[in-house]
Structure 1
Amino acid sequence: MSHMRILVHHERAERWCEALRERLDSSDIEILADDGETLGDILVVWAPPAALFERHRDVKAILNLGAGVDSLLANPALPREVPVLKLRDAGMASHMLDYVRYGLLHFRRDFDRYAVQQSERHWAPHRVVRARHYPVAVLGLGAIGRQIAEALAADGYPVHGFSRSAHTLEGVTCHHEQGEGGRSLKAVLGDETLGLKAVINLLPNTTATRDVLNAEVFAALPDDAVLINPGRGSSVVEEDLLAALEKDQLRGALLDVFQHEPLAGDSPLWQHPKVIITPHAAAPTPVSEAADQLAENIRRVQRGESLTGISLEHGY
């Protein structure tokens, strides 16, 4: 196994360095600052500046400290010939599932309506809607999306999964866009026979998924449907979402991600009575589980194994 220098670029780089040193028989793991001149063989990064790649073009691999590779792929200096490896779940799914379950419970049990009633001092119990009468759509059936969809189905929700290609998941009715029997996202979400109550966005950020949750799609949904978005802000046209909420085309939204982050202080989403905002906190990366996965990928690079990175065309 060849010796290689590993450079880590992250706002909490020392924590990641310590975790990797515990797992790898190597002390040659260093923090890489924005203006760092030290050259390495493997980069472990999160949202690095373009200048970093301009100085490090001959690395063996780039390891992304998260499942989302949006900022990495958008970096104009990213070396296109270098394999890019991302974390595949690494424990994020359980956090994401908590977030989604909370959102579904919040709306299914009418906590949004009770909050309004409290402000008006209005006492009026609502009928309890069971999970089995609350159909949901999970958009994106990647490593995390699959787990979310199957877990919600086990919770008793009628779950409809949507993805680019066909999938088969236990307890989930799967819909796909490409190939035989494929249907568009609008056609699936607007299918009145499904009676969808909630749309959970876990789509990756690709050219095909940007702005797909737009005015046309919101208009096709049932008027009492809600949007839960812990996935990618790039999927949602925020102006169209606001308009749909104002026109009562949507009942409400729980949003963790946005087109631009941090969310601008003058965004009308902050004060909208039908919107709950969290600061990209749905599924933080657990260091221990992620470091295990990173260490194994680093060993593969050191052994000279063939690496299959993310698709630069598809973005995942």
Structure 2
Amino acid sequence: MNNIIIIAPPEEKKKWIKSFKILKPEWELQSVNGMSNPDTIDTALVWNHPKGIFKKFKKLKLICSLGAGVDHLLSDPDIPNKVKITRIVDPLLSFSMTNYIVLAVLQYHRKMDKYTLEQKNKIWDHDSPPEINICIGIIGLGILGGDAANKLNYLGFEVLGYSPSKKKINGVKCYSGNELDDFLRKINVLVCSVPLTESTRGLLSKKLFKKLEQPTYLINVARGKVQIEN
């Protein structure tokens, strides 16, 4: 097969080509510089591509993001409407990210920052309740958000979820559509795992935060542009 092109930064491209030679030695991956005929290309493996590059490929049918996100693709206006876009779903990535979310929740729930500081200052505060009562809300119930919801529910936490479309997760009350405000009012830990799209850009803002119980602990594992920090 020589109808596949890989478009990525040089070092990353080398690693991918090396892996494909092991897994699919019969595939002949083309690069932009060494491409013989762009009209033969129907599949593009892509990460951080230069905008406008897809105009070269008149018979393109499939674009595969070489990462878990597709925001770098959706922001390119030159991608033909009928081209299918896929992404990598890596169980190890979900495992690592969910572990981070669980760690962050437990650190807040068990007041570990407070106890670490008191340990450093040689303070023994045995009168303080050891845990904070929490209700965890996860906004974005895709592969990552759904996995985190399941793991936190398994640990015995009260977990709510929100997604634009209806979802069903055992043991987790799921909100959708215009129920966002109702969802936000019920939680005091917010985990954000939404993809970066035009509708989620700037989602984490003062407007949203004002709808939360005070204080609410934020764990943002989404793209940076989902949150307005100023």
TM, length-normalised to structure 1: 0.63
Percent identity between matched residues is 26
1:73 shift after superposition: 0.9
Query: With CA pairs under 8 Å and 6+ residues apart, which has the higher RCO, 1 or 2?
Result: 1
| Aligned residue in 2 for 1:86 | 87
Structure 1 counterpart of 2:65, one-letter code = N
1:202 shift after superposition: 0.9
Q: Residues 230-252 of structure 1, C-alpha deviation per residue, up to 9 Å, x if partnerless?
A: 1232322212xxxxxxxxxxxxx
> Is the 8 Å Cα contact of residues 108 and 129 (structure 1) preserved in structure 2?
yes
> Is the 8 Å Cα contact of residues 20 and 27 (structure 2) preserved in structure 1?
no
Structure 2 counterpart of 1:79, one-letter code = P
1:58 shift after superposition: 2.8
Q: Secondary structure at the match of 2:72?
A: helix
Aligned pairs (5 A) from 1:198-209: 198-209=189-200
RMSD: 2.4
Alignment partners' CA distance in 2, 1:151 and 1:23: 32
1:63 shift after superposition: 0.6
| Aligned residue in 2 for 1:127 | 129
Structure 1 counterpart of 2:81, one-letter code = R
Alignment partners' CA distance in 1, 2:181 and 2:206: 10
| Aligned residue in 1 for 2:209 | 218
Alignment partners' CA distance in 1, 2:119 and 2:172: 37
Aligned pairs (5 A) from 1:43-82: 43-82=44-83
The change in CA–CA distance for 1:89 and 1:142 in structure 2 (over 3 A counts) is farther
> Is the 8 Å Cα contact of residues 51 and 77 (structure 1) preserved in structure 2?
yes
Alignment partners' CA distance in 1, 2:63 and 2:91: 17
The change in CA–CA distance for 1:37 and 1:4 in structure 2 (over 3 A counts) is closer
Q: Secondary structure at the match of 2:173?
A: strand
1:15 shift after superposition: 1.7
> Is the 8 Å Cα contact of residues 109 and 131 (structure 2) preserved in structure 1?
yes
Alignment partners' CA distance in 2, 1:100 and 1:208: 23
Tell me the number of residue pairs that the alignment of Structure 1 and Structure 2 aligns. 223
Aligned pairs (5 A) from 1:157-176: 157-176=157-176
Q: Residues 12-59 of structure 1, C-alpha deviation per residue, up to 9 Å, x if partnerless?
A: 1122122223332514124x36xx251333211112111432333432
1:226 shift after superposition: 0.8
Alignment partners' CA distance in 2, 1:65 and 1:22: 17
Alignment partners' CA distance in 2, 1:216 and 1:200: 17
Structure 2 counterpart of 1:78, one-letter code = I
> Is the 8 Å Cα contact of residues 50 and 78 (structure 1) preserved in structure 2?
no
Alignment partners' CA distance in 2, 1:170 and 1:156: 13
| Aligned residue in 2 for 1:237 | 228
> Is the 8 Å Cα contact of residues 4 and 41 (structure 1) preserved in structure 2?
no
> Is the 8 Å Cα contact of residues 137 and 189 (structure 2) preserved in structure 1?
yes
Structure 1 counterpart of 2:202, one-letter code = D
**Structure 2 gap ranges (5+):** none
Alignment partners' CA distance in 1, 2:165 and 2:52: 36
**Structure 1 gap ranges (5+):** 240-316
> Is the 8 Å Cα contact of residues 137 and 198 (structure 1) preserved in structure 2?
yes
